[in-house]
């Protein structure tokens, strides 16, 4: 028996959970003295769980912790990984300007605690997800730099069956909030030149603490 379709479009081929800016602190200290980030994330994951979706990945686009403390990364991992394991979905950890690369790499990736950018590539059943590191240690604005853009260019030279998504912290979009332009991703034309004419279908980002969407480089 064929499946019943009530709409004009087929089901989505791939589904992602996109979260951002969890800002965990060691000892579950309240962020800004008032926000229980662990409780907020736990409640968010419970709402997602109630949707009964089967995601192909969970992408968290930066500011995973607020101060880059090793204990905060351990606490975040303890909340997210059991949830992800239950859904059988990989977790894509993306670095943000509040993160510290050495502690992030050691605490979440089981990798050497170096200052190397946190990047990676995932094949999600034909949908390619590329994580970039737009952080600039010690600063709040974002940059991708020549090395990452060259690496990205080489990857995009070979299209993926279902296209490509990029994930990094600083959104390449204007902000309507006054003074937020000091936080933006710099040298956006260089990124636009790399993605032009490729199979990139979307960019996932965070950083600004409000929901927005738009087009970049077409």
- What does the pLDDT look like over 31-83, one tens digit per residue? 989 999 999 999 999 999 999 999 999 999 999 999 999 999 999 999 999 99
Six token digits for residue 176: 């309507």
Q: Output the CA–CA distances (angstroms, integers) from residue 10 to 30, 57, 125, in the order listed.
A: 44, 20, 17
Provide the 10 A C-beta neighbour count for residue 157.
Answer: 8
* pLDDT the model gives residue 175: 87
Count of other CB atoms within 10 angstroms of residue 176: 9
Q: Predicted confidence band at 178 (pLDDT cuts at 50, 70, 90)?
A: confident
pTM of the predicted protein model: 0.93
- The CA distance from 160 to 13, in Å, is 14
φ, ψ of residue 163 in degrees (nearest 5): 85, -175
Over pLDDT 70: what percentage of the chain? 98
Percent of the chain's residues with pLDDT above 90: 86
């Amino acid at each position: 028996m064929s499946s019943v379709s009530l709409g004009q479009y087929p089901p989505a081929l791939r589904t992602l959970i996109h979260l951002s800016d969890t800002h965990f602190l060691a000892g579950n200290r309240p962020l800004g003295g008032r926000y229980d980030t662990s409780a907020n994330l736990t409640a968010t994951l419970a709402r997602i769980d109630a949707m009964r979706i089967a995601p192909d990945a969970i992408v968290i686009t930066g500011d995973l912790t607020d101060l880059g403390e090793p204990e905060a990364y351990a606490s975040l991992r303890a909340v997210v990984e059991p949830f992800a394991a239950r859904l059988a979905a990989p977790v894509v950890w993306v670095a943000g300007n509040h993160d510290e690369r050495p502690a992030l790499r050691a605490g979440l990736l089981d990798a050497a605690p170096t200052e190397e950018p946190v990047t990676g590539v995932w094949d999600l059943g034909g949908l390619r997800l590329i994580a970039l590191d737009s952080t600039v240690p010690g600063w709040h604005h974002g940059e991708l730099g020549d090395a990452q853009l060259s690496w990205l260019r080489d990857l995009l030279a070979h299209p993926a069956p279902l296209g490509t998504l990029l994930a990094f912290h600083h959104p390449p979009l204007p902000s309507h909030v006054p003074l937020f332009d000091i936080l933006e991703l710099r040298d956006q034309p260089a990124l636009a030149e790399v993605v032009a004419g490729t199979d990139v279908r979307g960019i996932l980002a965070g950083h600004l603490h409000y929901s927005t969407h738009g087009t970049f480089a077409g």
